[in-house]
Structure 1
Amino acid sequence: MTDDTSQTMNRRTALKTTLGATTLAVAGCLSSASDDAEVRIGGPWKANRDPLDGGSQLRRLGITEALVSVDYDANPAPGLAADWERLDEQQWRFELRDDVTFHDGEQFNAAAAVDSLQRTVSSAAFADVPIDTVEATDELTIDVETGQPFSPLPAHLSRNEAVILSPAAVDDDDAVTEPISTGPFVFDTYQAGSELRAVRNDDYYGQTPEIESVRYEIVDDDQTRRMKLENGELEMARILPLEMVDDLESTAGIDTYTPEIPRIRFLTFDTQSEPFDDDRVRRAVNHAIDRDAIVDSVLAGVDEPAVGPFSPDISDWANPDLEGYDHDLEDARSLLDAAGWTVGDDNVRMRDGEELTVEFLTFDARSLPLIAEVIQDQLADIRIDVDVTTMEYSSMVDRVGQDSFDGYLTSWGTLWYPDPDRLSDMFHSTGAALHHGYENDRVDTLLEEARELDDRAERMERYHEVQSLVLEDAPVAFLTTYTNVVATAAELSGYEPHPTESRYGLESIDLDAE
């Protein structure tokens, strides 16, 4: 994720230079927020103005919207497109809403949506989405043609990168000067690395927000987010660690939300370099990890050990027959011995004169450093020496994407867009965003076939087999399910956690008068 250079972008200034005085007058009406009606949200994630460059917070705050939304059952739902249909294997038609205007006052229509989508389709984020053409067939109709049958297209068009921007939002150099979209909140000011503020859109076509403005503050430290909430400096603190739940629930004036969401924590191996190029070593690590102990010692007994990428409590895309790896140190030691990593008289595990020492990378969020330390202790029981390095998330991604590594701990939303095609992002040999280097021709074939099929049962059969194969090959070690912890001031009402974290639902919340 890339930050812009430090600056403050004021919405009214930007509109004056890009859209003219008439639009500025409209913006002035939208920006009449009062401090009493502002909701302040603290979270660890950086914000940006461009949906293609770390702009997910724009979607969460209700500034940007896509053709396809995601409902509270984590299914594709109408958004800016009121409906869609698959005309044939490679042709889709999206019928747009007719009552929408952009934040700059311009009419939302098919031509504007196509301009925005073409930018998305040509981006690196959509490199593996086989869209060939996007065209407006009339004022409110868009036809999309894919290069091959592609059943998860609506789910991909719900992604944060696929939000629709006004033509005025992008300059001649393809840079987003201001995220002008259609949501219930309007971009106001932005300070890179610090905060983003938005104001109510009084002309929103849907539910008009009760609150007048929202301010998202980047607060990296978990304890600081909690203290700012308790001190009245925030109305919402997000992504808090599970060990805080008991204290938060007993704190007067604080409401605590702990929904399980389709997200997992996992350890990714570099399958292209020693020692984890050997699946026996990867499976040994899986057997040596005591997931129950991680849940009890780090996660307050709230989460569950993960067996695969999907929790069966959340999604029927989960393979119900997966049994996972039991905690078995003898099996772990036998696998390492078979791989040539043996323990000598000095009680050190070695092969060809080289000690079995590895480095696991992670970043400081979602309790990952604490989990890494527990795994470090657990692998010592089978004489694997683990160094743990905690770094910035973006630095970790850069590191594992450019150089060989041993392993890294991370956390992913497995239904980040509402379709199990997300498994392609995880495990396809050429399409995966994970940097494991894993290759399995059967997995590739199953993922490619499932993308083409309409029939849910046939797709499910293939995705279930993928989960079985991946569990056996172990390019990753699935660790735990994920419970989101969000705490709010008690006077904030109407908040409902969204299962995919794609939006905060701020249009539905209110601040009760004291």
Structure 2
Amino acid sequence: MHFRHPVIAAALLAAAGLGGAAGAQTRSAVSVAAPWHVNNYEPSQDGYIYQRMQIGETLVDVCEDAAPCPGLATGWTTSEDGLEWRFDLRQGVTFHDGSAMDAEIAAANLRRAAERPGVLALVPLTAVVAEGDQVVIRLETPFAALPSVLANYGAMIVAPASFDANGDAVAFIGTGPFRVVSMAPPLSLVAERFDGYWGEAAHVAEVRYLSSHRPETRALMIESGDADLALNLDKDGFDRLDALDLSTVHAVPIPRTVLVKMNLARPQLAEAEARRALSLAIDREGVAIGILDFPDAAANQLFPPVLAGWHDADQPAVVHDPEQAREILAGLGWAPGSDGVLVRDGERFSLTLRTYPNRPELPLIAAALQDQWRDIGVELKVSIGNSSDVPGGHQDGTLDMALAARNYGLTPDPIVNAFDDFKAGGGGWGAMNWDAPDVDAALRVALAETDPAARAGAIRAVTDALQTELPVIPVAWSMLTVGQSAALQGVTIDPLERSYGLSQVRWAD
């Protein structure tokens, strides 16, 4: 077997303190390779890794139909006015240190989470208290999406010993089917089966998480047996693993959209018609086929089909019309300069687009946008850095544009992310300097309203405005690409990316 970089996987494993091949040789362990670092034990920061590795759990889980369902809470009720929610705590649950979970501990976790950055900070809480075996949440105003918020990793319930006297996370002691054995930041995490788990026991004895930044390395790790499951493969790695007998690949549509975020305070981007011209110049089908290798990924709207309540099936197909784009820009007063770049009132249509390589398709799509916009007279400079550069540029105002993959599945109901992105003032991953008070009002209705018809009307008002005004430009809907050892059975791919399903996998005999 030929490896383009035969020592990369071994070097990564050695750096992480996991020398030697992983699950393929051990057969009692499963190793996962993914692009994200694991830096600390803080649920609000790296909690998504502990949730995906099934180390931590939440009061509310998510069913196969993406609806909230029982987790550490067996059920819940709400008052008629929507201001009080009661969650019945599951009995007989123990933390990984052997201590018992109770309502007071669960309530304390939620109070702490509400004070930190994350989706729970959006909830209009007035109190979170324990009453018997119930966690009672009281609100200032109705918030219909509360169960969905409580399914987010930031609301995981961990043992009190996870925190020191100052409230800082010093360990991660959860309730899941696996418990932490060791963590070597930023590269690796090892967990073992928790025999005291309240639910169905895991089949494998150990699971390992390995952070590997480069997608080609993650594919090579499947080939070499240094990883058994690899996430977010690039096209070459996906195709290569698909051709091998030793591996199996999966591609699942997920509620994540590749989009162009724009600073509407820039004169080049302030007019909706200019943004529409940029959108018309994008060859989405070319991106979907040539870069993503998934023709159905071309995005004709922001929310993908997996988000049925937010996706408009009646929207026309995507249009690629660079000639119309040129006509629109000319009508706005933009004319070619001496070098072909459009100029208006002494201002060049020249902008910098930031992106990041954690999602391997993003730099490739950025290069395609650079070529396609050059064709209509728009100069695009591409800057590849860290994902934090996008919200950072929003905060300090230095951002022109960004190409990002925005996850609208952080909670089962995308209202939480949509509100964060498009409320008045916008958000770090959404609109920037977009004045849309009607959208803000509709988002607040969608957050609070329990009547299905009223809520659907508010959501439609939001999606219509996004489609017309284009404060962000959708480019493609993401696919979660996964490679696995062919000998690993029971692999399931979660489109919401909440779990790797490791408790259900087993090795073939």
Give me the TM-score of the superposition, normalised by structure 1.
0.90
Residue identity opposite 1:428 in structure 2: K
Q: Does 1:328 align with 2:321?
A: yes
For 1:401-412, list aligned pairs within 5 A.
401-412=395-406
Q: Does 1:398 align with 2:392?
A: yes
Q: Does 1:241 align with 2:237?
A: no
Distance in 2, matches of 1:195 and 1:345, equals 53
2:424 is matched with 429
1:511 is matched with 507
Given that 2:354 and 2:389 are in contact with CA atoms closer than 8 Å, whether structure 1 keeps it comes out as no
SS in 2 for 1:393: coil
Q: Does 1:52 align with 2:44?
A: yes
Residue identity opposite 1:224 in structure 2: T
1:343 is matched with 336
Residue identity opposite 1:151 in structure 2: A
For 1:64-75, list aligned pairs within 5 A.
64-75=56-67
SS in 2 for 1:73: coil
2:293 to 275, 296, 300: 300
SS in 2 for 1:446: helix
Distance in 1, matches of 2:421 and 2:236, equals 29
Given that 1:273 and 1:404 are in contact with CA atoms closer than 8 Å, whether structure 2 keeps it comes out as no
Which range moved further: 480-489 or 351-360? 351-360
Consecutive unaligned residues of structure 2, counting only runs of 5 or more, are 1-14, 18-24
Q: In the TM superposition, what is the alpha-carbon distance from 1:302 to its structure 2 partner? A: 4.3
Q: In the TM superposition, what is the alpha-carbon distance from 1:431 to its structure 2 partner? A: 5.9
Q: Residues 431 and 90 (structure 1 numbering): CA distance in 2 closer, same or farther, change over 3 Å?
A: farther
Given that 2:341 and 2:350 are in contact with CA atoms closer than 8 Å, whether structure 1 keeps it comes out as no
Distance in 2, matches of 1:476 and 1:452, equals 25
1:4 is matched with none
SS in 1 for 2:227: coil
Q: Does 1:121 align with 2:117?
A: no
1:169 is matched with 162
Q: Does 1:471 align with 2:464?
A: no
For 1:38-437, list aligned pairs within 5 A.
38-47=29-38, 48-88=40-80, 89-125=82-118, 126-138=120-132, 140-312=133-305, 315-323=308-316, 326-344=319-337, 347-364=340-357, 365-421=359-415, 422-430=417-425, 432-434=427-429, 436-437=432-433
Given that 1:303 and 1:483 are in contact with CA atoms closer than 8 Å, whether structure 2 keeps it comes out as no
Q: In the TM superposition, what is the alpha-carbon distance from 1:325 to its structure 2 partner? A: 5.5
Distance in 2, matches of 1:327 and 1:165, equals 50
Q: Residues 412 and 336 (structure 1 numbering): CA distance in 2 closer, same or farther, change over 3 Å?
A: same
Q: Deviations over 1:310-334 (max 9, x none)?
A: 2235524312333376212232122
Distance in 1, matches of 2:252 and 2:178, equals 25
SS in 2 for 1:276: coil
Q: In the TM superposition, what is the alpha-carbon distance from 1:82 to its structure 2 partner? A: 0.4
Q: In the TM superposition, what is the alpha-carbon distance from 1:51 to its structure 2 partner? A: 0.9
Distance in 1, matches of 2:360 and 2:146, equals 30
Q: In the TM superposition, what is the alpha-carbon distance from 1:494 to its structure 2 partner? A: 0.5
Q: In the TM superposition, what is the alpha-carbon distance from 1:372 to its structure 2 partner? A: 0.6
Given that 1:8 and 1:190 are in contact with CA atoms closer than 8 Å, whether structure 2 keeps it comes out as no
SS in 2 for 1:55: helix
Residue identity opposite 1:282 in structure 2: R
Given that 2:390 and 2:428 are in contact with CA atoms closer than 8 Å, whether structure 1 keeps it comes out as no
Residue identity opposite 1:122 in structure 2: E
Aligned residues, how many? 482
Residue identity over aligned pairs, in percent, reads 30
Distance in 2, matches of 1:431 and 1:495, equals 38
Q: Deviations over 1:409-428 (max 9, x none)?
A: 11122222011313212211
Consecutive unaligned residues of structure 1, counting only runs of 5 or more, are 1-6, 10-33
Q: In the TM superposition, what is the alpha-carbon distance from 1:301 to its structure 2 partner? A: 3.4
Q: In the TM superposition, what is the alpha-carbon distance from 1:465 to its structure 2 partner? A: 2.0
Distance in 2, matches of 1:302 and 1:209, equals 37
Residue identity opposite 1:442 in structure 2: D
Q: In the TM superposition, what is the alpha-carbon distance from 1:160 to its structure 2 partner? A: 0.8
2:483 is matched with 487
SS in 2 for 1:52: helix
Residue identity opposite 2:384 in structure 1: T
Given that 1:265 and 1:478 are in contact with CA atoms closer than 8 Å, whether structure 2 keeps it comes out as yes
1:439 is matched with 435
SS in 2 for 1:92: strand
Q: In the TM superposition, what is the alpha-carbon distance from 1:482 to its structure 2 partner? A: 1.4
1:37 is matched with 28
Distance in 2, matches of 1:130 and 1:344, equals 52
Distance in 2, matches of 1:325 and 1:234, equals 38
Question: Over aligned residues, Cα RMSD in angstroms?
Answer: 1.9
Distance in 1, matches of 2:84 and 2:307, equals 31
Distance in 1, matches of 2:110 and 2:121, equals 13
Residue identity opposite 2:455 in structure 1: R
SS in 2 for 1:181: coil
Given that 1:428 and 1:439 are in contact with CA atoms closer than 8 Å, whether structure 2 keeps it comes out as no
Q: In the TM superposition, what is the alpha-carbon distance from 1:298 to its structure 2 partner? A: 0.7
Give me the TM-score of the superposition, normalised by structure 2.
0.91
Distance in 2, matches of 1:163 and 1:121, equals 12
Distance in 1, matches of 2:425 and 2:94, equals 40
Q: Residues 118 and 315 (structure 1 numbering): CA distance in 2 closer, same or farther, change over 3 Å?
A: same
Given that 1:242 and 1:302 are in contact with CA atoms closer than 8 Å, whether structure 2 keeps it comes out as no
Q: Residues 433 and 353 (structure 1 numbering): CA distance in 2 closer, same or farther, change over 3 Å?
A: closer
Q: Residues 403 and 313 (structure 1 numbering): CA distance in 2 closer, same or farther, change over 3 Å?
A: closer
Given that 1:245 and 1:485 are in contact with CA atoms closer than 8 Å, whether structure 2 keeps it comes out as yes
Which range moved further: 361-370 or 325-334? 325-334
SS in 1 for 2:46: coil
1:20 is matched with none
Residue identity opposite 1:423 in structure 2: A
